[in-house]
Chain A
Amino acid sequence: MSENSEKTTHFGFSEVPEGEKAGRVQGVFNSVASKYDIMNDVMSMGIHRVWKDAMMDWLAPRPGQKLLDVAGGTGDISFRFLGRAGHGHATVLDLTEPMLVEGRKRAEASHLADSLNWVVGDAMSLPFDDNTFDVYTISFGIRNVTRPQEALNEAYRVLRPGGRLMVLEFSQLPNDGLQKLYDLYSFNVIPRMGKAIAGDYDSYQYLVESIRNFPDQETFLGMVRKAGFGNAKYRNLSMGIAALHSGWKL
């Protein structure tokens, strides 16, 4: 038996063979696609919008920039980026086809279709040439990638020199008391809300567990640096419930 087939990875709190994770994550998102954005609103009590605004503030999109929005789903980040840049181009990549189809409908409705492309692909093996994009974003997506370090390495590869990486992800609270309180909320409330709103308890249970398993701010910063990014930094959002990591391909 090859070494690879015995390797396991986190799927929420369960250990699953590495080869199965992508399919299972796809299952989660296929099952929540159309209600995903509404659920994000409800789950974070609207705060994810504030976090995404903070992401755009730090990113400061400029006219004419080319964005690659990985795990971009329905294009939420791309729409914000294009709105701030004035004009530019965004490529939305996701593992899940129904999310992209949903996003494309929205792009057509808002007459942005010409500024956007939609691609099904894997963050660990991007279907793009080296040095292609000015900006790479991944928002609430990297913790679902089987091997996040490989996704960061790929981000570095497809960015042009001078290009910028920006990662928005749930993170860890700085003290145990707060973390316990947040765990209590997230483990008890979110899966139930998921069931009530999207009719899907298990998917939201997975989301909560995967958040708790993701590396903390400093560990992830080390991974960003390891991929080759310079001037790497992070900012906590809502005390560390989420964090932004930024890096440059120098």
Chain B
Amino acid sequence: MRAGWCDGSVRGILNAPAARTSVSDRTQAHTAELLSAIARKDRRALGELIAVHGRGLTLVATRYLGSPEDADEVIQDVFLRVWRHASRYDPHKARVKTWLYRITVNLCVDRHRRTSLRRFIGLDDPPVEIADPQPSAADRLEDRHTLDTVRAAIAALPARQRMALLLSAVAELDTGDVATAMAVSPGAVEQLLVRARRKLRAATNQNEDQTP
């Protein structure tokens, strides 16, 4: 069923067969059509775009910011901007996915600067470690302790390295798209990734050495 917003069935929109399709099944042309529809103020298209890209954007923002609450607000801001500026999207400059991540990166960086300043002057508490409340299949396969170590290592990375790694590993963007999203050169992205992975390996190796 593809219920519309006027029917009051948001979940219907999100659970529509097209919305459940994975990102990899969607073509750039289709997501560009979604943006065109959003530019015409089609709320169903916005719901579909959130259903397709919302999870990936949320995971990257949450792991980058270290706060699910901050990430939630950032992701809302991302889609508000998409709603307001969909007509500005230029398919010749970047894929829709890359454009969405670029908006997310910009907002995350702004939020990170603000929260860092607030923490520095003592207005905010340091972030708490975000752990998956319900062990997933991945947790059962992997050692839970190792995943916690990886999470801590990601959180300890410098901000730019952390963002590059998350865009590459979690968002599964290629180097060129990561460079576009972060507004840096592909060479800079490769350097950030090399350093981030080196630190991550060191952290996980140290963890393994310490584990009895």
Do chains A and B interact in one complex?
no
A positions within 8 Å CB-CB of B:
none
